[in-house]
A and B are shown apart, each in its own frame.
Chain A
Amino acid sequence: MSEKKKCDPRVFQLSRRKALKGLAAGVGVLAIPSPKASASVWESFFQKHFKELSKEDLPKVLARMEEQYSREYGRPVTVKATPHIEGVKFGYGLDLSRCVGCRRCVYACVSENNQSREPQIHWIRVVRLNKEKGIDLSEAEHYYNPREVPEKGHFYLPVQCQQCENAPCTKVCPVQATWRENDGIIVVDYNWCIGCRYCMAACPYGARHFNWRKSRIPTDELNPDTHYLGNRPRPVGVVEKCTFCIQKTREMPGRYPACEEICPVGARKFGNLLDPESEIRYLIENKRVFLLKEDLNTQPKFFYFYGS
């Protein structure tokens, strides 16, 4: 839907982006390649926006990245750009009556999606709330660490990107480096992002994260199965976020996202909103469903529900 607004002539986009990139370099977040930089560094600096890459250019870009990452991590890394599947709009369900706050999803996400270990980046946050107070986020506790969960009197609310249909983050991006794909996944082109972090300020869910420093991932922990718009290693100075594990889910057949697979209590549900037989449709039609910050009209495709 928002695609129509993308009417800026390419020339304007490009020049504005360069200007901004220069600006960012000025504050030391990003720098223009040094004169001694290799050809591939320069190539990536002038690379086109993902959506404007031609059929001929895309494989070249992917191959260049594969080579670069494989060299950097000393093992074969693949980078794919699998497109959306026709007739699919992804939705996610989370059963608040089941979640025990064990945080296994947080760490499964980190390793599947190559999040930085140091400094630490977590795409999923689990907050603890009081049963008596209900959903009162002024009571949210992020750092609970008891011996065992669940704890008496508490329940838990995991938060990650809500993949909004009406996403505030994509609208504020000055260079359109982030957008909603046809299957509903909000993605970032890390090669296009200038690191201005407007999107982080616009996101009401705190679901976007900035790479202040070069991410550190031990080589043997790197997930080498990557997607251009998802879990490929990120450069410093860009914003990243949950993509419903685009590298796993956009396949025929497609696996479930890592957070769903790890959940020991079965609180996480995932599927195609357009398929009436999917578990996500069943829960929306049959269970009590909540949206986070519904009043902002962001129209999340992340549905919290009560299974019992």
Chain B
Amino acid sequence: MKTIIKGLLIASIAFSGIAIHSVAQEISTLRNETKLDEQKTPNKIYQVNNSDIKQKRNYPMQPPLIPHTIRNYEVNLNTNKCMACHSRQRTEESQAPMVSVTHFMDRDGNFLAEISPRRYFCSQCHVTQQDTKPLVENTFIDMHTLMKAKTDPK
């Protein structure tokens, strides 16, 4: 019995070794196949899209992309630069859209007076868009298109 288990163990380790090896060849990371002790030539840094034009959301719950640069905007214990434009009190002067009501809700759905701590760090959810081609093809189809395809007479 013991020898069987041992044999199985060895076999599975050997197999997983092969599996890991082949996976390692397929996965393309930021470092690609650069050896651990080598320095990869850094990828190009692309410009952040600063068009100030709001982008379409792919689904209603998507955190909208940030249509402007955010270089050196501090969000920390002392200050939240984003809220200097996006808070309720500031939108008249800044002409920025107010953070939506969901940003004031705690996890039980109660509304707080200020933005909820879980929405404080904006860049957890909101990101800028770089002016570059996507690394992988996007095959996402939104609900609207799906429903239309279903109801449309062929």
The reply to whether chain A is a binding partner of chain B is no
